[in-house]
Amino acid sequence: MTDDISLDEYKEAYREMRLEESKKGFFGHLATYVLVNIILIVINLTVTGDDVLWFFFPLIVWGVGIVMNYLQPFHWAESRLEEKEAMIESRAREKEMEWNQKRTLFANREKKHDTSNNSR
């Protein structure tokens, strides 16, 4: 048997899941960054020697991307989730208002129809 959960419990579970996914993605990118840059450093130092050190270009440029990727799940994700939740709640309220308006319109038509049939 399943128990119903509240909207707040659902939101909290959803947030935790999204943050966990973001953190896993970050650590996967970080591991790739470290491994690939180690390989690039080894290639640079063994093939071209100390004459031309180019390995730091991808290290720095990709490092900026890693920093941005770090900031997303650890700093920006919470505010983005709150923004999305607010948008979703707003849309849900709009839909509810539309539904209520249609229901009221339908009920008014039914009343008019019933009163016109009763007057005959």
Q: What's the whole-number average pLDDT of the chain?
A: 83
Nearest Cα residue to 69 out of 32, 16, 38: 32
Query: Distance (Å, rounded) from C-alpha 84 to C-alpha 99?
Result: 22
Would you say the pTM of this structure is higher than 0.75? no
The answer to whether the beta carbons of residues 73 and 22 sit under 8 Å apart is: yes
Domain residue spans in the chain?
A: 7-84
| Structure confidence by residue, pLDDT tens digits, 5-38 | 787 787 788 888 888 888 888 899 999 999 999 9
Nearest Cα residue to 70 out of 120, 27, 7: 27
Burial of 103 (0-12, 13-18, 19+ CB in 10 A): exposed
For residues 120 and 93, the model is more confident at: 93
